[in-house]
Amino acid sequence: MEALRPYLDQVHHADAREFLGQLPAESIDAVVTDPPYFLDKLDDSWTPEKATPKSYKRQQVQHLPPGMRFDPTQGKRLYEWYLPIAQQLFRLLKPGGFFFTFASPRLFHRVALAVEEAGFWIRDTFLWIYTQSQPKAMGLHHFIERLPLPAEAKQALHTRLHGWKTPQVKSVYEPIIVAQKPYTGTLLENFLAYQTGLFQTRIPVGQGMFPANLLLVEETETVLDKYFLLPKARGEPTDHPTAKPVALCQYLIELSTVPQAVVLDPFAGSGSTLIAALHSGRHFIGIEINEAYVALARKRLQEVTPPLFA
């Protein structure tokens, strides 16, 4: 813990690929992170300008919405980018420590492969279900209109292709891959030595239900709420385009770590994981490459009351 102290409870403005190498081995209790998904422009070099709602709007008129332009090379690039990061995280985690990584439904298999290749065991895949999302499919109207055909032929095509759209559906879930660094001895021996490797199951979910691998943070007014709704968390609103709910991060942290544990988020964005750690009485280390998001995360952290770590 001493070697880690200078890094604790801060958002570091850095490239995670370089910064992670500075941190001491086997010092981190859990990693909860939401890396770039490598869809459309949200790859390893995004900026707020590339990801602003304004540019989304502009794109929706001319192209497919962000994240939905199909590019079969994205998965391979994501894998190659994430593997060395996962290897660093493997070095940093204590034996038995958990690595929760969000991913997109389209490319989560590549994320899981990189994580497994780095040495982790894939223990589960949680599904975060949400209802607020835009349909992604695009109609064919503009494409038909651009064809070099007489008006009647175009009209016939419109009629024939009524209802057909590009092959995307409305996305209503995100996978969270649950990986674990192999533990030493038995799970109990590992927990007694490192305080990692087990799940704390007495977290209130739904109406006091046992934790499951389906998670909700907003009411759906269906039977799902009864079983899977997480308790509300404070500190939700943010300007980051892909901010994750604090409640979700807090749940993952409290499920897998003990109080005072150290939680790392190498792709901190607006700091949702870090805020969740603070609310849970855990230490955090955040890394974020983009200055504007570093400022946003620091501002959100300052607003957390009471400040547990001054």
Ligand X SMILES: C[S@@+](CC[C@H](N)C(=O)[O-])C[C@H]1O[C@@H](n2cnc3c(N)ncnc32)[C@H](O)[C@@H]1O
Q: Please, which residue, 34 or 40, has the CB nearer to ligand X?
A: 34
Where does this chain touch ligand X (CB under 6 A) — which range of 9-17, 108-116, 169-177, 189-197?
9-17
175 contributes a contact to ligand X by CB under 6 A:
no
Give the DSSP H/E element, type plus range, for residue 100: strand 93-102
Residue selected from 88, 180, 272, 280 as contacting ligand X according to rule CB under 6 A: 272
Binding ligand X (rule: CB under 6 A), the pick from 206, 211, 269, 286 is 269
Chosen residue from 120, 194, 267, 284 binding ligand X by CB under 6 A: 267
DSSP 141: H
Annotate each residue in 17-56 with x if it binds ligand X (CB under 6 A) or - if it does not, as one string. Answer: x----------------x-x-------x-x----------
What would you report as the CA-atom Rg of the chain, rounded to the nearest whole angstrom? 21
* Backbone φ, ψ for residue 93 (5° rounding): -75, 150
Query: From the CB of residue 167, how many other CB atoms can be counted at a distance below 10 Å?
Result: 10
Among 1, 3, 15, 232, binds ligand X (CB under 6 A): 15
Stretch that binds ligand X, among 91-99, 155-163, 165-173, 236-244 (CB under 6 A): 236-244
- Tell me the three state secondary structure of residue 171: coil
Which parts of the chain fold into alpha helices (H)? 16-19, 53-62, 74-92, 108-117, 141-146, 151-160, 187-194, 223-228, 246-256, 272-280, 291-302
Q: DSSP assignment of 2-21, as one string?
A: GGGGGGTTEEEES-HHHHGG
Binds ligand X by CB under 6 A, chosen from 11, 16, 93, 274? 16
Please give the residue whose beta carbon sits closest to ligand X in the complex: 269
Contacting positions for ligand X (CB under 6 A): 15-17, 34, 36, 44, 46, 240, 242-244, 266-267, 269-270, 272, 287-290, 293
